[in-house]
């Protein structure tokens, strides 16, 4: 499946910004199931300097700074991406594989595999996700020692989908998890963080994924929630089996309609843009538009 | 001491004779049982390498030792040696007069141990931010790295420019027996202490010149030489690098040391906002534009160094710095991310790490450490908690270690629960008691607990160890604070040499540095220049206010001569000149407070002098001046520093002295401050290089003087008064401007406003006249570096020319004309107002052109989650 992703971020400032220094996570990474052509990035005003690098988590980070006065900043990224739908599991396969008990045991081996060693980083607290008793309590009925681990995670995904309301009006990026849990609503970032917090509170390794959804699905398929902006979901680690993605906002197992930009411990590792601006006043307006179009080749029709 | 080069020097012979007269024999103490005493054997006999020093000190006698002790403290105070601990306010560093003495055999062991440990920590650093073999091979659990807040993921994989990227290493240790020491911690981010050690040494060699000379003590200079060679070698290309010392600023705990090292090594002392990133390079914003920075000796903690990628609300760093480091265009010493090496968790695994990374056994053992994350360790901690020291894995500023033995049962239960909930965050260590060393306190030798910090610096092939270090001592016999590294009482550390010691000066490699010397002066950062300017302005504000108040106290106490009118005008002048409104104001007749103020002016006058929170008061101006002085500390001479210290003391004592003196001749209390301020201005003129730094102080002073003079003259001389009152106010003006004597000599008894104006405004032979001040101001401004090459005068030159000409062209007679409509001399009033306006404009223009205008930085997104995990 081939997609063209266009992601435009625009900042409008109250007053003149004289310079800015930024780190962006807006270039989709390569994954086992995803091939990415070199993205085209257009930034206005033109940066004084810009550089790409691979970050700690293997994501593509883009650093740029601007030294000319400006009152708006536009970052326009276009990428062509091929997604191999076979890479991930589908719903029918969730009942096989490690049980919850096996997962916990393997994670805590004294001599774990290299993959497990690195997965254990995602078991720890991270800047925006702290484990807690409340999170553990919320999730524990989905898990039991003999239950297949991925089935349990799917149940948790479903539970979040069912009990929480998708409501972009009530939450900012940094809504604390206990607030999300108390008010039972949020946006995709919150649900991903919530699931990760639950999993880590129970002793499982989970990471945060930022990315996109196909904007307009082919006729007959339902349009997914969160398709007009950047999206977020999570993945869990099952020792010996690898990482598996789940999308609590859509109660689904991502297949070929999810495009991965970056992953990390939580949002703070992969925020689309962070940095410092000099000047610009107190307020800024952020406009984001995302378009993910499936490219249909002539011969497929 | 002229005889001091003879054996058995003067300080000995002198005291021997003194001793005959005064029986001030001092005795040693009995060594404490169950502790290791560095100087005394359990029997009480002196260890061999201590006996010469101890006997010499003893021979000096109590009175002499106490005199040397005060001399030590005086020098430290004069040098401005301070340390600000987080729990207390700023304090003068304190140095004990008895050094810690280490013989060469023991030192050889310690030195080898430090060398090995620094090499090990260098490799550990590389492993953590590189291949991570230690966790891959299971030598340490992954959480040891992944859970530590100082593991900076954005620093992962950065290519380091040299084999030894850990440039500095500080190691805290405790002597446990004749042959053993135990390491209790490592300092790897920005180890503070080498500067204090050097200052301690400098003071000791001054206070005990002959004892030091005869003791064959190894010198410290070589260590700094190595440091300098190393930093030079870090240059990203072949040229001699521009090196700066990055400090968090004057409120940092060891700011003294930052300024001291910058000075000693000849580097610029900068703050984050003095630097900027452009085109993939780091630059220093200086008076003459941007100058490239190649190497940063940093004293700012890791996390604060780059708000664009690390702590986003940090104002101490340089946005974009990390990307420049990645590009290899600037090198930090120590490298970012090195903070994680301070994690006590590594102590638990250090032998294994040493085996894995070096294939060697550790020469220096570390304090036994248990990590609550390890289930077995956790059980051990819970069982033995009351005899362990509990430490957070990540120590926040000012956070103290917890001694299990000092907690109640209930507190222990709480602590266990805390550890159970967050086992990753706690380690426990065995409680080792520090060793003891003789200390001169309260007129006798007494044993005090000590902790020694050794330092190493990376050289070409391996590390070099400072032959000495920083020894901190506890205030009391059982002081545990010393273990937290928070004590400010210290000892010089004397490492004895078997051979005679050769003297090395840091300046022996002159040739290399001559080329840099010139640049430093031109390279003053914009912030420094701005501080200089304000240093000048605040000093003059304070001085004028003091002079005026002094005069007014004199006039007030001549009460019978003052009419109501002149009384009011004089008091109003205080408010107008110091700008401490509302204060004494006339127009406001309904205002009862104002009326009461006039009846009892003492409280208001006292407040104008002493209220540090009141803008415009003498105390607040002096405080601001001292803050500016602190910012430019590294550029002030030792004498200047001493005068600054005096002023600080005077300010602190001001309220007391004024209150005590108010009843009689209160003006006397102000004299010492005026004298100190004059001394300061004298030093600026006598001892400062005529560079831009000096020029900006002078510009600040001239500009402020001119401004104050216009206010004074306007307030006192523009109102039309009776002849008698006019005499009084003119006298006040002349007294304040210190020209009364000249006036009387020149014009005899005739007091006359026209003559007064001639002398104070126009007479260019009077250095305090307005035209003299403006002339001098213009001369300074004319030679400032100009950024415009055009033929027209720049705006600052136009302004200074306009100011000077306006005054020069004025005629006293015209100025004195009274107008029919108002009760003031309109011409004079207008000229003074116009001058004030132009002076203000000039100050704004200078600030726009030459000073740093770091705008407020904002985060692209507010990050409330960045607090430590």
Is A274 within 8 Å of B323 when comparing Cβ atoms? no
Q: Is residue A279 within 8 angstroms of chain B, CB to CB?
A: yes
Cβ–Cβ under 8 Å, residues B674 and B543:
yes
Size of interface A-B (CB pairs under 8 A): 102
- Distance separating alpha carbons of residues A276 and B394, to the nearest angstrom: 27
Q: Which residue has the tokens 């988590």?
A: A57
The pLDDT assigned to B239 comes to 85
What are B63-117's pLDDT values in tens digits?
999 999 999 999 998 888 888 765 555 677 899 999 999 999 999 999 999 999 9
Alpha helix segments (H runs only) across B369-491: 375-384, 409-421
- Distance separating alpha carbons of residues A81 and A37, to the nearest angstrom: 6
Q: What is the mean pLDDT of residues A191-206?
A: 97
Residue A171 pLDDT exceeds 60: no
The pLDDT assigned to B868 comes to 43
Cβ–Cβ under 8 Å, residues B85 and B77:
no
Cβ–Cβ under 8 Å, residues B317 and B300:
yes
Is A277 within 8 Å of B860 when comparing Cβ atoms? yes
Strand partners, A13: A284
- Divide the 869 residues of chain B into consecutive groups of 10 and give the mean pLDDT of each group: 42 50 67 90 92 93 93 90 66 90 95 97 97 96 96 94 93 91 94 94 95 93 92 87 94 90 92 93 88 95 95 93 96 96 97 97 96 96 94 83 91 95 95 91 91 94 95 83 73 92 60 45 80 95 94 82 86 92 74 75 90 93 93 86 90 84 81 92 87 92 96 93 88 91 83 89 94 96 80 90 96 88 90 96 90 75 54
Cβ–Cβ under 8 Å, residues B46 and B39:
yes
Q: Is residue B2 within 8 angstroms of chain A, CB to CB?
A: no
The pLDDT assigned to A204 comes to 98
Strand partners, B492: B470
* Closest by Cα among B166, B77, B172, B90 to B130: B166
Neighbours of B517 (CB within 10 A): 10
Strand partners, B175: B181
In this predicted model, which residue has the larger pLDDT, A174 or B315? B315
What are B325-339's pLDDT values in tens digits?
999 999 999 999 999
Backbone torsion region of residue B473, taken as left when φ is above 0, otherwise alpha when ψ lies between -120 and 50, otherwise beta:
beta
Q: How far away is chain A from the Cα of B29, in angstroms, using its nearest Cα? A: 53
Q: Is residue A111 within 8 angstroms of chain B, CB to CB?
A: yes
Q: Is residue B581 within 8 angstroms of chain A, CB to CB?
A: no
For residue B538, the SS3 value is: helix
Q: How far away is chain B from the Cα of A33, in angstroms, using its nearest Cα? A: 25
Q: How many CA atoms lie within 13 A of A227 on its CB side?
A: 15
Cβ–Cβ under 8 Å, residues A249 and A163:
no
DSSP assignments along B835-856, one per residue = HHHHHHHHHHHHHHHHS--PPP
The pLDDT assigned to B861 comes to 64
DSSP assignments along chain A, one per residue = -EEEEEEEEEEEEEEEEEEEEEEEEEEPPPBTTEEEPPPEEEEESPPSEEEEEE-TTS-EEEEEEE-S-EEEEEEEEEEEEEE-GGGS--GGGGGSS-BHHHHHHHHT-SS--HHHHHHGGGGS-BTTB---HHHHHHHGGG--TTSBHHHHHHHHHHHHHHHSEE-TTS--TT--HHHHHHHTEE-HHHHHHHHHHHHHHTT--EEEEEEEE-SSPPTTSPPPTTTTS-EEEEEEEETTTEEEEEBTTTTB---SSEEEEEEESSHHHH-SEEEEEEE--S-EEEEEEEEEEEPPPGGG-
Supply B125's token pair. 């650093």
Kind and range of the H or E element at B58?
helix B48-78
The pLDDT assigned to B83 comes to 80
- A-facing residues of B in 283-312 (CB < 8 A) are 307-309, 312
Of A65, A121, A271, the CB nearest to B277: A65
Residue B275: DSSP 8-state: E
Q: How far away is chain B from the Cα of A87, in angstroms, using its nearest Cα? A: 27
CA angle A114, A118, A122 (to 5 degrees): 150
- Distance separating alpha carbons of residues B287 and B319, to the nearest angstrom: 21
Neighbours of B764 (CB within 10 A): 10
Supply A230's token pair. 């950047």
Q: How far away is chain B from the Cα of A49, in angstroms, using its nearest Cα? A: 6
Cα radius of gyration (chain A): 20
In this predicted model, which residue has the larger pLDDT, A281 or B607? B607
């Amino acid at each position: 499946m081939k997609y063209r992703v266009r992601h435009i971020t625009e900042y409008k400032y109250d007053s003149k910004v004289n310079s800015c220094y930024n780190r962006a996570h807006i270039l989709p990474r390569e994954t086992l199931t995803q091939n990415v052509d070199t993205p085209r990035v257009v930034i206005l005003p033109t940066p004084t300097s810009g550089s790409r690098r691979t970050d700690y988590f293997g994501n593509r980070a883009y650093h740029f700074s601007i030294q000319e006065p400006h009152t708006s900043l536009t970052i326009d990224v276009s990428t062509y991406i091929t997604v191999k739908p076979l890479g991930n599991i589908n719903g029918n396969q969730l009942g096989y594989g490690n049980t919850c008990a096996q997962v916990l045991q393997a994670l805590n081996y004294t001599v774990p595999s290299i993959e497990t060693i690195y997965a254990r980083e995602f078991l720890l607290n991270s800047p925006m996700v702290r484990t807690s008793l409340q999170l553990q309590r919320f999730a524990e009925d989905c898990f039991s020692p003999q239950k297949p681990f991925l089935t349990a995670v799917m149940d948790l995904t479903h539970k979040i989908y069912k009990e929480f309301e998708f409501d972009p009006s009530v939450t900012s990026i940094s809504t604390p998890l206990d607030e999300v849990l108390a008010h039972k609503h949020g946006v995709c970032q919150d649900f991903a963080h919530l699931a990760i917090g639950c999993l880590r509170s129970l002793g499982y390794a989970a990471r945060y994924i930022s990315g996109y959804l196909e904007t307009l699905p082919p006729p007959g398929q339902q349009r997914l929630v969160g398709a007009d902006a950047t999206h977020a979901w999570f993945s869990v680690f099952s020792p010996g089996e690898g990482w598996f993605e789940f999308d609590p906002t859509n109660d689904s197992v991502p297949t070929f309609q999810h495009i991965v930009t970056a992953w990390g411990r939580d949002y703070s590792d992969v925020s689309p843009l962070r940095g410092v601006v000099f000047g610009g006043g107190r307020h800024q307006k952020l406009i984001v538009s995302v378009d993910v179009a499936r490219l249909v080749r002539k011969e497929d029709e | 001491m002229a005889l001091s080069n003879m054996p058995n020097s003067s300080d000995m012979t002198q005291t021997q004779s003194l001793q005959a007269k005064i029986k001030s024999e001092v005795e040693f103490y009995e060594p404490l049982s169950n502790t290791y005493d560095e100087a005394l054997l359990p029997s009480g006999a002196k260890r061999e390498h201590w006996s010469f020093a101890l006997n010499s000190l003893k021979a000096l006698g109590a009175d002499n030792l106490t005199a040397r002790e005060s001399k030590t403290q005086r020098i430290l105070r004069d040098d401005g040696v301070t340390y600000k601990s987080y729990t207390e306010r700023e304090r003068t560093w304190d140095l004990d007069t008895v050094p810690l003495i280490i013989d060469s055999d023991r030192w050889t062991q310690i030195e080898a141990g430090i060398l090995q440990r620094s090499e090990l920590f260098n490799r550990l650093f590389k492993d953590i931010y590189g291949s991570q073999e230690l966790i891959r091979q299971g030598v340490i659990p992954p959480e040891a790295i992944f859970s530590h807040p100082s593991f900076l993921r954005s620093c992962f994989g950065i290519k380091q420019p040299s084999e030894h990227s850990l440039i500095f290493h500080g190691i805290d240790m405790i002597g446990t027996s004749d042959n053993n020491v135990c390491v209790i911690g490592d300092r790897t981010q920005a180890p503070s202490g080498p500067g204090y050690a050097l200052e301690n040494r400098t003071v000791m060699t001054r206070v005990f010149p002959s004892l030091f000379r005869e003791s064959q003590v190894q010198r410290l200079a070589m260590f700094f030489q190595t440091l300098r060679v190393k930093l030079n070698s870090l240059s990203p290309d072949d040229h001699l690098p521009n090196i700066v010392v990055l400090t968090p600023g004057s409120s940092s705990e060891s700011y003294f040391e930052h300024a001291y090292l910058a000075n000693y090594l000849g580097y610029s002392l900068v703050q984050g906002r003095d630097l900027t990133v452009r085109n993939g390079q780091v630059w220093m914003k200086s008076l003459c534009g941007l100058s490239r920075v190649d190497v940063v000796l940093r004293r700012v903690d890791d996390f604060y160094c780059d708000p664009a990628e690390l702590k986003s609300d940090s104002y101490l760093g340089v946005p974009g710095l990390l990307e420049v480091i990645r590009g290899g265009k600037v090198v930090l010493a120590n490298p970012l991310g090195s903070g994680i090496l301070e994690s006590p968790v590594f102590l638990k695994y250090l032998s294994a790490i040493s085996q894995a990374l070096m294939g060697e056994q550790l020469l220096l053992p570390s304090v036994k450490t248990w990590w609550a994350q390890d289930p077995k360790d956790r059980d051990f901690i819970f069982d033995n908690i009351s005899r362990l020291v509990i430490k957070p894995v990540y120590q926040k500023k000012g956070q103290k270690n917890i001694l299990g033995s000092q907690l109640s049962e209930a507190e222990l239960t709480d602590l266990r629960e805390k550890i159970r909930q967050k086992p990753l965050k706690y380690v426990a260590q065995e409680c080792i008691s520090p060793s003891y060393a003789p200390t001169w306190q309260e007129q006798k030798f007494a044993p005090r607990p000590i902790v020694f910090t050794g330092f190493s610096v990376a050289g070409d092939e391996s590390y070099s160890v400072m032959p000495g270090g920083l020894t901190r001592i506890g205030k009391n016999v059982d002081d545990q604070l010393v273990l937290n590294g928070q004590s400010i009482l210290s000892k010089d550390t004397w490492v004895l040499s078997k051979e005679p010691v050769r003297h090395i000066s840091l300046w022996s490699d002159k040739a290399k540095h001559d080329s840099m010397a010139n640049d430093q002066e031109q390279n003053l950062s914009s912030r420094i220049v701005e501080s200089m300017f304000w240093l000048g302005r605040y000093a003059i504000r304070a001085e004028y206010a003091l002079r005026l108040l002094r005069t007014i106290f004199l006039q007030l106490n001549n009460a019978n001569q003052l009419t109501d009118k002149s009384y009011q005008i004089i008091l109003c002048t205080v408010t107008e000149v110091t700008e401490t409104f509302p204060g004494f104001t006339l127009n406001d007749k309904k205002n009862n407070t104002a009326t009461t103020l006039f009846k009892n002016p003492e409280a208001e006058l006292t407040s104008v002098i002493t209220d540090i929170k009141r803008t415009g008061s003498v105390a607040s101006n002096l405080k601001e001046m001292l803050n500016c002085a602190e910012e430019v500390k590294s550029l002030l001479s030792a004498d200047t520093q001493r005068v600054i210290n005096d002023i600080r003391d005077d300010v602190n004592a001001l309220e007391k002295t004024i209150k005590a003196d108010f009843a009689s001749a209160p003006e006397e209390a102000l004299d010492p401050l005026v004298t100190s301020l004059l001394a300061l201005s004298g030093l600026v003129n006598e001892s400062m290089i005529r560079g831009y730094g000096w020029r900006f102080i002078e510009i600040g002073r001239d500009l402020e003087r001119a401004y104050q003079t216009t206010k004074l003259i306007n307030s006192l001389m523009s109102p039309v008064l009776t002849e008698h009152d006019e005499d009084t106010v003119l006298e006040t003006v002349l007294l304040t401007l210190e020209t009364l004597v000249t006036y009387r000599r020149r014009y005899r008894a005739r007091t006359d406003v026209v003559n007064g104006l001639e002398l104070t405004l126009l007479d260019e032979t009077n250095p305090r006249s307005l035209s003299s001040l403006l002339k001098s101001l213009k001369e300074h401004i004319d030679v400032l570096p100009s950024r415009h090459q055009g033929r027209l005068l720049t705006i600052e030159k136009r302004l200074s020319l306009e100011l000077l000409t306006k005054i020069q062209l004025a005629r006293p007679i015209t100025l004195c004309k009274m107008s029919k409509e108002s009760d003031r001399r309109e011409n004079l009033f207008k000229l003074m107002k116009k001058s004030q306006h132009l002076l203000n404009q000039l100050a704004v223009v200078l600030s726009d052109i030459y000073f740093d205008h770091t705008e407020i930085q904002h985060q692209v997104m507010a990050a409330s989650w960045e607090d430590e995990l």
